[in-house]
Amino acid sequence: MQKEVAKETLTEAVERVLETTDAQEQIEDQKQIAKQRQNRSDTLWFELILSMSTLQGSHGNTLAVNDEYYAQVEYENLVQMDEEDRIAHLKEVLLEAGVNMHNKKSMYISSHVERIESMGGLEEAQDEFSSRTGKGEKVEFLKQFKGIGDKYARNIGMDLLHSDFRDTLALDTRIKNITDELGIEFNSYEQHENFYVSVANSLNVTPWELDRILYRYTDEVIEKIE
């Protein structure tokens, strides 16, 4: 399928999903969650834990959203441990929380503690993130943390509904499945993302809103692609 035809096809499929589901209500709920996360005192750390917990397995988000588990992996608790004890503690908690690849992710999270320490602490790290100019610089800042690549760096900014990321999509497996269903390919992350930005423009929604629709209604969108 040619990309222009694919764009029209996907636009029409999403329009039908918007007409037949509660997608608009879900979007508003996500905006409220984003505002709550913006107001956290540990926003950056929470987003790093959420990213690690859902990497290659979204069911692991219990680590971040369950208060009992999250209390055990808060930055202020972990920073007081030496590296060996911290990794051992993380392995135990992540395993109990049902996080996949818990051994590797425990090492990643421990390295995040060390990275933030090198910046002067969590408050200083959050200030540095905020001071970075534009999406590109913020993405590069986030990619300093092990396990955070293009997709998760964008997703963190989008989780917070940050103004620098409202023209952004996080190209996860679900969105890639839609791309495969359309029968099109791209040479870079940016080209792939720009295609979906153009679809959002056709729908008169923000790329952030389209990302949330496609994530929550992947199957419904695929069913309506003709």
Tens of pLDDT, residue by residue over 66-89, are 999 999 999 999 999 999 999 999
pTM of the model: 0.82
Residue 168 confidence (pLDDT): 83
The reply to whether 46 and 74 lie within a common domain is: yes
pLDDT tens-digit profile of 146-176?
999 988 999 899 889 898 988 888 888 889 9
Spatial distance between the Cα atoms of 217 and 63, rounded to a whole number of angstroms: 24
As a whole number of angstroms, the distance between CA 152 and CA 155 comes to 5
The two structure tokens encoding residue 194 = 């720009």
pLDDT at 190: 87
Residues 188 and 77 in one domain: no
CA-CA-CA-CA torsion sign (50, 56, 58, 62): negative
* CATH number of 59's domain: 1.10.340
Domain edge (last residue) among 165, 181, 196: 165
What's residue 12's pLDDT?
93
Same domain, 44 and 155: yes
- Give me the phi and psi of 150, to 5 degrees please: -55, -45
Compute the distance between CA of residue 173 and CA of residue 63 in angstroms, rounded to an integer.
Answer: 21
Q: Which residues contact 105 (CB under 8 A, 6 or more apart)?
A: 52, 53, 55, 90, 94, 99, 147
d(CA 96, CA 114): 24
Structural domain range at position 55: 40-165
Residue 100's pLDDT is what? Answer: 93
Q: Tell me what pLDDT residue 55 has.
A: 86
Residue ranges of the chain with pLDDT lower than 70?
none
Q: Give the count of domains, the chain.
A: 2
Q: How far apart are CA 9 and CA 51, in angstroms?
A: 32
Are residues 77 and 25 located together in one domain of the fold?
no
The pLDDT score that the predictor gives to residue 198 is 94
- The span from the CA of 162 to the CA of 141, in Å, is 15
